[in-house]
Amino acid sequence: CCLLPETASFAQTTDNEYNLIPFPARFTGLPGRFALAASTRILTAAKDPAQTAAAQLLASQLKLTSGLPIAVTASTPALAKGKNIVFEKHTAGRCGPEGYTLRVTPEGVRVGAETPKGYYYAVQTLMQLLPADVYGSTRVESANWSMPACDLLDRPRYAHRGLMLDVGRHFMPAAFVKKFIDLLAIHKMNTFHWHLTDDQGWRIEIKKYPKLTQVGSTRKQTLVGHYAENYPQQYDGKPHSGFYTQDQIKDIVKYAAVRHVTIVPEIELPGHGLAALAAYPELGCDPAKGYEVGTRWGVIRDVYCPSEKTFTFFQDVLTEVMALFPGKYIHIGGDECPKDAWKQSAFCQDLIKKLKLKNEDELQSYVIRRVEKFVTSKGRAIIGWDEILEGGLAPNATVMSWRGIAGGIEAAKQKHNVIMTPGTFCYLDKYQADPSTEPLSIGGYLPIEKVYTYEPTPTELTPDQQKYIMGIQGNIWTEYIHTPDEVEYMAFPRAIALAEIGWIPAGPRNFEDFASRLKNHLKRLDRLTVNYAKRLLDVRS
């Protein structure tokens, strides 16, 4: 009874009143509604903290917004027969580590799962069955506090459903990072990839290297030379700074865990490290050069020099990072590392000879492998951008395929796990509408209709190789995104299309159906004060 069908049945549900996003894997609409009343109870097994945590979440939002005194109580056979919301534990394998079942009828609601995450996602779906006001923070007695009846068994297609936020180019306050995590969770995304360092800013406190944040978290946004003359509109001319203390990070990690979101921290190496070189010039190939935190965008030639000093630095930094982030994966970047500085460095040329390497690509691979070995020795695993394929992949690395899908295909063929995030479908920093009517973006055009067509599992792979495609991710690079409001504008609603792609079963998709659910879903985002790109959808309706 428990295996999901291979294809989705959601395409027929256009203009229903369920408006579930992502749409459940297996869904049947039923007649009637379950009405909440002052007497409604949420029932959980007395000794099941996972059920109770999810139930409390639902109860507190309901109490706040409906005003009904809905309480969580220990289940008894008599109460379970009444018009209540009953949590039940499934035997293992029924719906998987992230799945759940839900049956809503006029007589009551049954919620089933086998893990804390499953109960949590069931509550997310229950919230969507309720009036949008349940997402607010004020009491709305006039709303119809009931849910349409339905029966569903739900679980995701992919294990990794993520969004990346670049706080290196523009720092985003801790309170916004929490809101961003909330927004992932309500769309059943489970991974927040936190891009914490880049050429233009180092954003994470590292106790052993205080200058990383004292120096590396601040840039003078001065326009100089060629870039000022040729691209003045791309630079705001303002200084910028900001970083997270370790206490703030611990707090955010806890906050995310409650929402079943795992954080993948990213420390960029061996490229995109100029902010660190400004703080500790001895980590570069030319310490006398006078490195400064980056004040222009793009690929920067000054990169870490692969000396023993630098490896010690990487290990020290990663040791503090691993102490803060309990997740299995640590992202070590690996992208866009130009080799000019290494070509000009006598030290690097000697090292290449000494290690009997062919070229600078192999030197980059040597760097990644050494760092990977260290991270693996601590019981963790690395993720890197697809350039880590160049010069040979480190043994346990997971690859994020961003320069199209070729890197992902190649990595899967080499039996490495892959996360698909090709720029053409997943880069939410691109224009979402006619550029002449939109705020300055990085370039490229990616309307939500196009995002929604993306199929993450390449057909070029055999079924055995396809197993290595772990999932999908949207990326929000912030060169031209200065504030939380602007992040929300660029990310939403496009990220919701990615959330649905990561969740629903393989098979044809129907954009009209998605758009009709999305239109109603946006009322929920209104209650959450999300600055999504509204105009784009008004035009369509």
- Give the catalytic positions in this structure: 198, 272, 336
- Min CB(101)–ligand TNX separation in Å: 39
**Cα 398 from chain centre:** 16
Q: Kindly give, in sequence order, each residue whose CB lies less than 8 Å from that of residue 166, ignoring residues fewer than 6 positions away.
A: 195, 198, 475, 476, 477, 478
* In the complex, minimum distance from the CB of residue 271 to ligand TNX, in angstroms, rounded to a whole number: 9
Alpha carbon distance 373, 314 (integer Å): 12
* Structure-token pair, residue 83: 């018009």
Locate 339 and state its tokens: 């080799």
Q: Is 431 helix (H, G, I), strand (E, B) or coil?
A: strand
Distance of CA 393 to the CA centre of its chain: 24
Q: In the complex with ligand TNX, which residue's Cβ is closer, 103 or 193?
A: 193
Going by C-beta distance under 8 Å and a sequence separation of 6 or more, which residues neighbour residue 1? none
Cβ 461 to ligand TNX shortest distance, Å: 22
Does residue 385 interact with ligand TNX by CB under 6 A?
yes
Give me Rg for the CA atoms of the chain. 25
| Segment holding 329, helix H or strand E | strand 329-333
3-state secondary structure of 50: helix
Among 429, 496, 524, 530, binds ligand TNX (CB under 6 A): 429
CB of residue 409 vs ligand TNX: minimum separation in angstroms?
17
Virtual torsion, Cα 289, 293, 298, 301, nearest 10 deg:
20
Distance CA(388)–CA(219), nearest Å, equals 29
Q: How far is the CB of 336 from ligand TNX (least distance, A)?
A: 5
Is 302 one of the binding residues for ligand TNX (CB under 6 A)?
Answer: no
Q: CB-based burial of residue 311 (10 Å sphere; 0-12 exposed, 13-18 middle, 19+ buried)? A: middle
Which C-beta is closer to ligand TNX: that of 409 or that of 504? 409
> By rule CB under 6 A, what count of residues binds ligand TNX?
9
- When the beta carbons of 438 and 513 are compared against ligand TNX, the nearer one is 438
Pairwise CA distance, residues 161 & 71, whole Å: 32
- Exposed/middle/buried for 3, CB within 10 Å: 0-12, 13-18, 19+? exposed
Closest to ligand TNX by CB, 80 vs 442, is: 442
Q: How far is the CB of 402 from ligand TNX (least distance, A)?
A: 5
Residue with Cβ nearer ligand TNX (263 or 481): 481
Binding mask 307-346 for ligand TNX (x = CB under 6 A): ----------------------------xx----------
Q: Which is nearer to ligand TNX, 257 or 433 (CB)?
A: 433
**Which residues ranging from 450 to 479 are in contact with ligand TNX (CB under 6 A)?**
477, 479
278: nearest Cα among 219, 324, 207: 219
Across the chain, how many H-helices and E-strands are there? 20, 19
Closer of 53 and 442 to ligand TNX (Cβ): 442
Nearer to ligand TNX, 236 or 282 (CB): 236
Pairing of strands 71-74, 191-195: unpaired
Q: What part of residues 106-125 is at the interface with ligand TNX (CB under 6 A)?
A: none
CB 233 to ligand TNX: min, Å:
17
Positive or negative torsion for Cα 498, 121, 164, 464: negative
**Minimum distance, C-beta of residue 479 to ligand TNX, in the bound complex (Å):** 6
Footprint (CB under 6 A) of ligand TNX, residues 477-536: 477, 479
Q: Is 541 exposed, middle or buried (0-12, 13-18, 19+ CB in 10 A)?
A: exposed
427 binding ligand TNX? (CB under 6 A):
yes
Which of 192, 280, 402, 480 contacts ligand TNX by CB under 6 A?
Answer: 402
User: Which of 147, 122, 134, 150 lies closest to 53 in space, CA to CA?
Assistant: 122
Least CB distance to ligand TNX at residue 348 (A): 23
CB atoms within 10 A of CB 164: 24
Q: Which CB, 101 or 197, lies closer to ligand TNX?
A: 197
Q: CA-CA distance, 21 to 4, in Å (whole number)?
A: 18
The residue ranges that bind ligand TNX (CB under 6 A) are 335-336, 385, 402, 427, 429, 442, 477, 479
